[in-house]
Amino acid sequence: MRGTKVPLIVTKMITQEQVKQIVENALEGTTAFIVDVVVKPGNAIMIILDDDAGINIDFCVTISRKIEENLDRDVEDYSLEVSSAGIGNPFKVPRQYQKAIGKNIEIVLKDGQKFIGTLMTVAQDGIFISLEKSNKKGKNKTKTPEQDDQNPKFIPMESIKQTKEIVKFK
């Protein structure tokens, strides 16, 4: 079939900025906030939300529906996933630090140092944590965590590579 032209199918790419604006509008009037918006090739949209009081599945469904109202699958096909930020996942936005005040966190610095402790306060340029220290006992060198509340450590935000909340079971 010489000379036959095959129609070229062009799919429009949904932009991260477009999705972020839709999500921000959907969150108006709530205390929830955006942790991350990712649009992968093929219009695979992933949205991670958080709230000081936590996010439940019903809230994710509501936000998902509001997003779907603003995107037309006939014009641009997409997949959509709306979820909450999980414990153990690295912090991505400064507001997550505020939410974690009083909770146990693990911090890895850009130079490889690692700290575990309780997040005490958050400043614009860094955080203060009460470090967990270990007491070594006997041959087993059993570690008993203790908090050093008298000497909180200041860690500049610029030196932090990763921070995540950790759950400790007693």
pLDDT digit string (tens) for 32-60? Answer: 999 999 999 989 999 999 998 889 999 99
Which CATH number does 94-165 carry? 2.30.30.100
Under the banding of pLDDT at 50, 70 and 90, the label for residue 11 is: low
Check: CB of residue 104 under 8 Å from CB of residue 167. yes
**Range 160-169 burial, b when 16+ CB lie within 10 A, else e:** beebbbeeee
Instruction: Please say if the pLDDT value at position 163 is more than 60.
Output: yes
| 16-84 is a CATH 1.20.272.10 domain | no
pLDDT digit string (tens) for 62-116? Answer: 999 999 999 988 888 999 999 999 877 899 999 999 999 999 999 999 999 999 9
Start-end of CATH 3.30.300.20 domains in the chain: 16-84
Find tokens 């935000």 and name the residue.
Answer: 157
Mean pLDDT taken over the chain: 85
Report d(CA 152, CA 101) in Å as an integer: 13
Instruction: Please say if the pLDDT value at position 6 is more than 90.
Output: no
Instruction: Please say if the pLDDT value at position 135 is more than 50.
Output: no
Q: Is 120 exposed, middle or buried (0-12, 13-18, 19+ CB in 10 A)?
A: middle
Start-end of CATH 2.30.30.100 domains in the chain: 94-165
